[in-house]
Structure formats: C-alpha cells, structure tokens
Copies of this chain bind each other. A is one copy, B any other.
Amino acid sequence: MTTGNFKDALHRFKEGQGKIKALNYATSMLFWDASTGAPKSGADARSKSIGTLSGFGYREVVNEQTEADLNLLIDHLDELDEIDRVSVLDAKREYDKLTKIPMDEFQAYNELISKSAMIWEDAKEKSDFKMFEPYLEKVINYLLKFAEYRGYEGHPYNLYIDDFEPGMSVDQLNVFFDELRGRVVPLLKKIIDKGDAPEVTFLKKDYPKQKQDEASRKLLGLMGFDLERGMLKESVHPFTMGVDIDDVRLTTHYYEDDLASALLSTAHEGGHAIYEQNIDRKLQPTLLATGTSNGIHESQSRIYENNFCKSHAFISHFLPYLKSAFPEPLEGIDVETFYRGINKVEPSFIRIEADELTYSLHIMIRYEIELGLIDGTIKVKDLPAVWNQKVKDYLGIIPKNDAEGVLQDVHWSEGLFGYFPTYALGSAYAAQLAHYMGKEIDIEACLANGDFAPLTKWLNEKVHQYGALKKPNELIELITGERLNSKYYCDYLEEKFSGIYGL
C-alpha cells in the first residue's frame, strides 16, 4: 500500500464529503422553502427532487471506491490530523449504518415506516391504540433485527441512543434518570401540594404579531445571534437550520393571544442557531461543521431559553422593554409576577406543552418505555396501560384517552427510538455547563444588564467552536472535568422552583 494511494484516497474522501455537504445544503433549502411559504401544490415536485438528491447522496456514500478508500483511511488513522480522523470515523459509522442492513430489508422497513406514520396519524385522530399496535410491533421487530446486523455493545438500545448521542449508553442514562426520578418527582409533588399557582392571564392577552416579531429580533440581537449571517422567519413549527456557518436560519411561530410562546421559541431556536454560527471556520468545508449531537444541541437551546431568558435577572432587564412594546396587556405587571408566570409549573398530558420542570418527566416516561420495548420487558399491547400508570406515578394525572397519552408523539411510528432521551440530556448538560460557567462569570449580573456577550463568548469557546469534532462525553469532560452529572440539573431545578414556590 503506497503513500500515493493513501493521499489519493484522502483527496477523494474529502471531495466526496464536499458533495454530500452540497447535497445536504440543497435538501435543507427545499425543506426551508416548504416550511416558510411555498405553495402546498408543489409538494410532489419537491419530494421527487428530495428523493433524487438523496439517491445521489446514497450512491456517493455507498460504492466500491468509497468503501475501499474508507478502509484504507481507517488503516492509516494515525497519519490523519484530528479533523480528518473524526471525519473518517463518522463516515465509517454512517457507511456501516447504510450498508450492514440488507438492502431489501431496509427498503421493506422504509415502506413500513411510511405506512406506519400514516396509520399513527389516523389512530391518534381516532384515539385508538389498537389500530397502531401491529405496526409498532413490526417496527420494533425490525429495530431488533437491524441491531443484530449492525452490531452493538452491551444493550441493543445503546445502538439507537448512539445514533443521536454518539457515545451515550443505557448505563449512563439509567444513572441519570434514576437521580431525576428520585429528586424531580418529589419536587413536583411538593409544588402541587403547596397549591400556590402563579398568575398567568396577563400572558394570554392581545399581543400583535408585528410587535412580537420586533421583540423576537431584539431578543436574538441581545443573545448574540448575527442577523446578517442568517435569518428569522415564521413557520408552523419553530426550527433551526444550520446549512452553513454563514447562513443559519431559524423560525418561530407567533400567536397573537400569547406573549410567551414565540419569544421562548425564539430564545430556544436562537440557542441552536448561535451554536451553528460559531463553529470554527476550519471545519466549514467538512461535515463536522454542525452540532455534535442532539443532546449537546439541545443544551444550547435550553441554556438560552431556560437558564438565561427565563431567569429572574434577565426578566428584570427585559420586562421594561416588553412593557414599552406592549403597554396595555402588561400594565401593572412587575418582575416577580412576570417571572413566576412564565415559570409556572403544571402537570399536563402533552409533552410539547410541558413546563420546564415536568418536561424531563415526560421524557423519562418515554425512555423507560423504549428501553422496555427493546429488551422485551414491556409488550406493545400493554403500552396504553403502562403509559397511563407512569403518567400517574410521575405527574400525578391520568390521560383520558390514547390521543393525549401513548399516541401523542410521532417518533415511534417513524422508528425514532433513542431520540427522546436527548431532550432531557440537553437540559442536564445545560445545567452542568451553567454551573461551571458560573465559576468564571457572574451570570446573574450579566443577565440583569442584558449583556449576553460574556456568556455567549464562553459557550463559543467551550462548546460551539468544536462543532462535531468533539463527541458529547469528550466535550463535556473537556469543559467540566467530568462526564454528564445529573446532580447539577437536579440542583438547578430544586433551587429555581423552590424559590418560585417558596418551598
């Protein structure tokens, strides 16, 4: 094997990565277009185009030359610099994911998924889990089978966690959720028992869209999002799209009878967007120029949304502006009232409407069920009962039907197992990062001055710049000297909500 071969392989590899990046860019733009005003009638043409682009992408990854190059590069890992080494390892993982499953089974699975997602929609509408049950069973059987093809260490669920949070494992998650169960469930119970519900009606008054848009842009500017290298638009469901360091886009959704929704979505997506904007430029030509995992990405959205924007300190800074923008609905509202209102805790059935405290309990329910379904300790047919029991145990309420219970999320119908835990990981990483940031910066003082710059700069240096170069465990350890530690998250929740509810 000559050096020439190796150099050629590396050159081809980089070229191939560039092509995949270019295809991803186009696909993302089609999605952006579809979500921000494209005529509905164009859906067929768009999906044909996306399908074709994905076909080109597949053939770019899966072919004999790419396989040979990858194997050669894997043999020479030591000779690669860090960026190339991580890129090659990521590509190898992606390659295995695409090739270890026999093509005919993968196609059959994709057909099942597309059917299953439709059936789920129908079942949810009719609130009838029985309709969805056989499909979910088939999906899980495929996932178990695919785990055997793909190979895994320890628990088969590790494989699916790893798809969204590289390196994370059932062992780590069990420790994490055990502490959550032990500390957050009792905390919630105390809050409910106290029965001291904050005032929130002032948040549900008349808030004109145009003014909300201005406030969202004002907030983004404060947070440190560069509106010259990106854009904010409206879509039905808020999302962030980081197609390139120099073109990061986010959306929010305005409700004219709700002040908090759009602003908090903007803070949340703004956190994702600031991450994408501040990745080191040396990663720009590679596929590493993006967030490193779902969980770390979510930590950036959560830290801006919850730890920063919903803090007492920041509200004390931002409320005067809001009162000048919305004088009537906010007349007579003081910082304390606003702070308590926007942080109100109330157990509810629907995850996506949950408050900061109960949110992770919704995730815990899903984690326990996914784990049980994968290791066989929970049967699909028992899901509605299992679900309702867990909601009762953790949230103290009982769903009236499957639609507001086990059928509420689309994820399982699409085979997305291992995704949910990353939502809770995001909040936990956020708390851990904020704890260590607090050792270097007076966060409260910054927020009270509306000065996000030192906070954003800290995150730029510690988290953002690395993109996907450092994987989650490595990154968190690099910054905090330890791996994920749920203590910080539970401490944070206890302190914050004990304060609000005077416990």
Seen from chain A, the residues whose Cβ lies within 8 Å of a Cβ on chain B are: 18-19, 21-23, 25-27, 29-30, 32-33, 37-42, 44-46, 48-49, 51-53, 55-56, 228-231, 243-244, 246-247
Residues of B near A244 (CB, < 8 A) are: 42, 44-45
**Quick check: A231 and B23 within 8 Å, CB to CB?**
no
- Known contacts A29-B29, A30-B29, A56-B56; A45/B247 CB under 8 A: yes
Closest to A19 in B: B52
Our pick among B37, B39, B243 for the contact of A42 (Cβ within 8 Å) is B243
Contact sample, A vs B, 21 pairs, CB 8 Å cutoff: A22-B48, A22-B51, A22-B53, A25-B46, A25-B48, A29-B29, A29-B33, A32-B33, A33-B33, A39-B228, A39-B229, A39-B230, A39-B246, A40-B228, A41-B229, A42-B243, A42-B246, A44-B244, A45-B244, A46-B247, A56-B56
Please indicate the chain B residues that have their CB under 8 angstroms from the CB of A52 in the complex. Answer: 18-19, 22-23
Task: List chain B residues, Cβ under 8 A from A230.
Answer: 39
Q: Secondary structure at chain A's binding surface: helix, strand, loop or mixed?
A: helix
What separation, in Å, do the CA atoms of A56 and B19 have in the docked complex? 9
Contact between chains at B30 and A49 (CB < 8 Å): no
Residue contact B51 to A231, C-beta cutoff 8 Å? no
A21: chain B residues within 8 A (beta carbon)? 48
Alpha-carbon gap, A176 to B46, bound state (A): 42
Contact of A45 with B25 at beta-carbon distance under 8 Å, contacts A19-B52, A39-B229 already known: yes
Give 7 new A-B contacts, CB below 8 A, not counting A33-B33, A44-B244, A45-B247: A22-B49, A22-B53, A23-B49, A39-B246, A41-B229, A41-B246, A45-B244
- Residues in B with CB closer than 8 Å to A18 are 48, 52
Cα-based distance from A441 to B48 in the complex (angstroms): 40
Closest to A289 in B: B45
Q: What's the least CB distance linking A35 to chain B, in Å?
A: 12
